[in-house]
Amino acid sequence: MSESLLVRVAQIAAIVVCIYRVSSILWWLVGMVTAHKKGPNEADVRAGSRLKNARRLRRMTQAELGDLLGVTFQQIQKYENGKNRISASRIVAAANALGVPPDFFFDETEKATPDIADTSAEMRKLVDLIAAGDALEMNRHFSNIKSPALRKAVVSFVTAIATAADDQP
């Protein structure tokens, strides 16, 4: 082999070693980035859950809410699952579309101002309770009862059962 060919092979070998080192560093960096990737934020998950509960209570589909907010139903799914954060402007738009105050989507401890009306906390508690599977089904059926007297009787019946259940150990 000629000396120039040996020099050329040595240069190529040096380049291959450099490429290998650079690719190793790049793979290490990719690993570091994915290892530090954050999961869903707890507050985002709670806000998304409340968004879903309020939407279901309004009997609104994800597509319908998405149309009102100017996003796809897939984006609504991501909001509801806490995968994507919902912006402040979209929170306000969602609150308007669902007939709840914007602070409905947050816990008392997450709010910026401490003097928010208690009705928001009560509404959140009510929506969380009603959104439970059996409670949601019961409310759907209850809304079909047209007679005020019959509705009052059902409420009295459920109140009596709840009171009796409170007395049980």
Q: Which residue has the higher pLDDT, 165 or 146?
A: 146
**Cα–Cα distance for residue pair 29/27, rounded to 1 Å:** 5
Distance from C-alpha of 83 to C-alpha of 62, rounded to nearest angstrom: 15
* Prediction pTM value: 0.48
Give the residue among 98, 102, 119, 122 at the shortest CA–CA distance from 111.
102
> In this model, does residue 116 exceed pLDDT 50?
no
The predicted-structure confidence for 26-74, as pLDDT tens digits, reads as follows 666 666 555 555 667 788 888 999 999 999 988 999 999 999 999 999 9
pLDDT of residue 1: 59
Percent of the chain with pLDDT over 90: 22
Residue spans of the domains in the chain: they are 1-37, 42-131
| Structure confidence at residue 18 as a pLDDT band (50, 70, 90) | low
Residues 92, 70: Cα–Cα separation, whole Å: 13
CATH architecture, domain 42-131: Orthogonal Bundle (1.10)
Identify which has the larger pLDDT, 150 or 26: 150
Of 81-85, 93-97, 164-168, least confident by mean pLDDT is 164-168
Asked whether 100 and 87 are in contact (CB, 8 A), the reply is: no
Query: 3-state DSSP: the chain helix, strand, coil percent, rounded to 5?
Result: 75, 0, 25
